Structure 1
Amino acid sequence: MTAATPTSGVPVKQGWLNRSLNAIERVGNKLPDPAVLFALFMVAVWVISWALSDMVFTEIDPRSGQPIQIVNLLDGSSFAAFMAKMVNTFVTFPPLGVVLVAMLGLGVAEYTGFINAGLRSILSVTPKVLLTPVLIAVGILSHVAVDAGYVLVIPLGAVIFYAAGRHPLAGIAAAFAGVSGGFSCSLFIPSSLDPMLAGLTQASARLSSHPAAAEMLINPLNNFYFTSASAFVIILVGWFLTDKVIEPRLKQTQVDGDPATLPTMDALKPEERRGLRFAMLSILISVAALAATAYPETSAWRGTDGSLTHSTANLMQSIVGLIFILFLIPGVVYGYAAGTVKTHRDVVQGMSKAMSGMGYYIVMAFFCAQFIYAFGQSNLGALFAIKGAGALKEMALPMGVTLIGIILLTATVNLLVGSASAKWALIGAVMVPMLMELGVSPDFTQAAYRVGDSSTNIITPLMPYFPLIVVFCQKYVKSTGIGSLIALMLPFSVSFIVVWTCFLLLYWSLGLPLGIGSSYTFPALP
């Protein structure tokens, strides 16, 4: 193995950029936990609803044809109703069941080693010239296992680059760009993020005063075509930056980690190869069985209109269940074939481990659900949407400019709030209803959000896995710090947000489909 040459450590420039990022870090560290933020926002909604409940507004609520009225949530009857519905509000919160069910299957696949072996298999047979794009693509593919890419693909990226005689930090940068910078991409395989965001979008859409909002159903794959196409944009941009910008800069950065502690990429063992063969066979059989049962015109998977892709079709409503099954089956098959699973108790243990890691999300979901409910009951969302839509109509800004604003807003908030679902619950509750009033579909608004959400993941120290990436870097370059990693990833972040935004606008201008059962427009109010 060869290491990169000269000097010691990654230089950290104390310019205006680092000073600004340090200031953002200090401010961000002072913010409460997202769960507490939702609780505080809920209290704020209560107080604001009380303060505005006696005010008279001229805006007309299309649902009733009457001037909109803010409901005082601190009124005795309203508060009692809130408390009585608290449990139901939580258990019926759209993203909750979706995420937990998907994670049961994904958890088994990860626990048995199927995902680990599959990623190692892909990376081990990659030609050297395609090392960078394939590593970024694998980072994007890792999203099906939610956070598996952070703890698996990123350190493996350093290993395979180091083994190939390239700088290991370039491998970390490329993998980090795919896993986190391309977090909203889905390379032809749905991830648990898709139904999670769609569930939040549906909850936000139903806050709208639009007559059609109450019955609106958001397909979990409403951005699937766009996010799959976006994966190629991220791969190409990341490939160019890694090979032409990042790696040349790292030539002056010496690899000074302890050689005895530097990891190696273990080849797949015979039992792991056997497990992968049986697991892939089980996937083919499962997909073939699904296709065979869905093909007939009388298939139970179809909707009443015979469609397989309409949001009311059983197939579309079963996306989360299918994610569960299509990862559970190969995960179990791999486990038994590779010897990582001995009994059914090991499978249950995998599910239990996955659920134990969801404890924080469940806490956040509880407070998020209560905030969404209070926001909707107060009519504040409807008031903000109608007033915001009126202001945007008067400004007469091109829709493209409005979408760019959403992307930049999201990218900025992302520097302070790390959770994708937490940000979308906050931003979507206002932006989705407001743009529906202007005739923009929730699907299109969600697509704009996803661009902004991913682009700045890789430069915010508040992202939960950011310190872990610093530790990975320190195994190779001991002097690596937060500023070093930010400087390493900043070219990716800036390039992603510029190129990806342009791609979204081009995609829209060409009228290409965003996803299954989605649209760009929504019936605008007169």
Structure 2
Amino acid sequence: MPIDGDQEDMPQLDDVTPQDKKAFKTAVMTMLAGAALLTYLAVIDQSPLADSEGNLASVTAPIFGMIVPLIFLFFVVPGIVHGFVAKTFTNSQDVIKAMSTAMEGMAYYIVMAFFCALFIKAFGDSQLGTLLSVKGATFLASLELSGGVTMVGIVFLVAFINLFVGSSSAKWALISPILVPMLMQLGYSPDLTQAAYRVGDSSSNIITPLLPYFPLIVLYCQRYVKSTGIGTLVSMMLPYSIALLVIWSIFLVLYWTLGIPLGFGSSYAYPAAG
């Protein structure tokens, strides 16, 4: 496909200045210092990050409840340091403005979360979730499908639904009240169900126009090829989407077959053995 975009609209790569190099090194050192502090707090005797038995790899360990704020701090602190050293930030207002700009992409999810909350409340009061779970579990059991086939089916189902509901969190809020209890009745853990969900959801993101960032991707493509549209992007990305769907499904089944843990404290069966 020939490139016919305006050169002025294309991203410009500026030369890296000594100030940029200094800012990068300072930010990296800040992140390494934070990692060293976290490691020290994790390995010391009576670590405040471990559970009562001194185990870090336990779902009851405080570090599990700190994962989100830790990720936030590991990115925001070096980012702020980089901004001030590189002179991108001059005061706290610049930091707030940068954060506000980054959060604009969450507007779609916030709107969807509001309506999902209403749906979940009405769905719970109607008891339809319980009915569908029981009937669905009975139907799946009658098919006598192997576990691998069932999970691959869930993967493809989620990939299809993803074409109509772009938000990952909103989609999980819609279908988890049905899928999770239904598969639990068949002996599959919620951990395995969510892993299958993530495989299907991530594989078809790039080919659904309802993806919040899809218009932005089209816009970036139009910088290089003016005729780029939704169809152009979908047709280009479809082979990659199918390849990801197949390869990640195989990975999931292999993990399950070989008994490789999905994560700390996770299991494949419900109830978990031991």
Using structure 1 for the length normalisation, give the TM-score.
0.49
Name which of 38, 47, 53 aligns with 1:305: 53
Q: What residue number does 2:202 align with?
A: 454
What corresponds to 2:226 in structure 1? 478
Q: Does 1:276 align with 2:24?
A: yes
Q: What amino acid is aligned across from residue 84 of structure 2 in structure 1? A: Y
Question: Offset of 1:508 from its aligned partner?
Answer: 1.1
Match 1:403 to one of 151, 159, 175: 151
The correspondence for 2:242, drawn from 470, 485, 494, is 494
Which amino acid in structure 2 is aligned with residue 479 of structure 1? S
1:346 to 69, 84, 94: 94
1:523 aligns with 2:264: no
- Specify every segment of 5 or more residues in structure 1 that has no aligned partner in the other structure, as ranges: 1-252
Question: Are 1:415 and 2:169 counterparts?
Answer: no
For residues 494 and 357 of structure 1, the distance between their equivalents in structure 2, rounded to whole angstroms, comes to: 26
**2:131 is matched with which residue: 367, 373, 383?**
383
Indicate the RMSD between aligned Cα atoms, in angstroms.
2.0
Instruction: Deviation per CA, 1:193-229: give whole Å up to 9, x if none.
Output: xxxxxxxxxxxxxxxxxxxxxxxxxxxxxxxxxxxxx
Q: CA deviation at 1:487?
A: 1.7
Equivalent position amino acid for 1:279 in 2: A
CA shift, 1:354, in A, is 4.1
Q: Which amino acid aligns with 2:143?
A: M
Q: Note if contact 2:109-2:170 (Cα within 8 Å) is conserved in structure 1.
A: no
- Structure 1 residue 493 displacement after superposition: 1.2
Consecutive unaligned residues of structure 2, counting only runs of 5 or more, are: none
Deviations 1:253-304 (A, max 9, x none): 3222334544332232222221111111011000100110111231111112
Q: Secondary structure of 2:216's match?
A: helix
* 2:218 alignment partner AA: V
**Pick aligned residue for 2:67 from 305, 315, 319:** 319
Alpha-carbon distance, 1:457 to partner: 1.5
Higher relative contact order (CA 8 A, sep 6+): 1
In 1, distance between residues paired with 2:221 and 2:101?
28
The 3-state SS of whatever aligns with 1:475 is helix
Is the partner of 2:224 in helix, strand or coil? coil
Please point out which of 439, 451, 454 is paired with 2:187: 439
Task: Check the 8 A contact 2:109/2:167 in 1, yes or no.
Answer: no
Letter in 2 for 1:399: G
Counterpart of 1:114 in structure 2 is none
**How far apart are the structure 2 equivalents of 1:363 and 1:258?**
35
**Alpha carbons 2:27, 2:79 under 8 Å: kept:** yes
**1:232-247 aligned within 5 A:** none
Q: Does the CA-based 8 Å contact 2:57-2:264 persist in structure 1?
A: yes
- Shift in Å at residue 369 of structure 1? 2.4
Alpha carbons of structure 1 residues 340 and 300: separation in structure 2 relative to 1, 3 Å: same
CA drift at 1:357: 4.6
| Aligned mates of 1:350, 1:385 — CA distance in 2 | 44
Distance 1:507 1:368, change over 3 A: same
Aligned equivalent of 1:511: 259
Structure 1 distance, partners of 2:4, 2:100, is: 40
Aligned length: 272
Residue 353 to residue 257, structure 1, CA distance change in 2 (3 Å): closer
Partners of 2:62 and 2:108 in 1: CA distance? 31
The superposition leaves residues 122-168 of structure 1 with CA deviations (integer Å, 9 ceiling, x where unpaired) of xxxxxxxxxxxxxxxxxxxxxxxxxxxxxxxxxxxxxxxxxxxxxxx
SS of structure 2 residue aligned to 1:256: coil
Contact 2:108 2:212 in 1 (8 A): no
- Aligned equivalents of 1:471, 1:323: Cα separation in 2: 30
Does 2:78 align with 1:335? no
Residues 357 and 454 of structure 1, relative CA distance in 2, 3 Å threshold? closer
How far apart are the structure 1 equivalents of 2:121 and 2:269?
26
Return the alpha-carbon distance in structure 2 between the equivalents of residues 372 and 388 of structure 1.
19
Q: Is contact 2:199-2:249 (8 Å) kept?
A: yes
Secondary structure class of the residue paired with 1:358: helix
Q: Spell out the pairing of 1:73-222 with structure 2 (5 A cutoff).
A: none
- TM-score normalized with structure 2 length: 0.91
The residue identity in structure 2 corresponding to 1:519 is S
Counterpart residue type for residue 323 of structure 1: I
Please say if 1:263 is aligned against 2:11.
yes
DSSP-derived class of the 1:431 partner: helix
Kept in 1: contact 2:158–2:200 (CA 8 A)? yes
Alpha-carbon distance in structure 2 between the residues aligned to 1:486 and 1:355: 26
- 1:399 CA drift (Å): 0.8
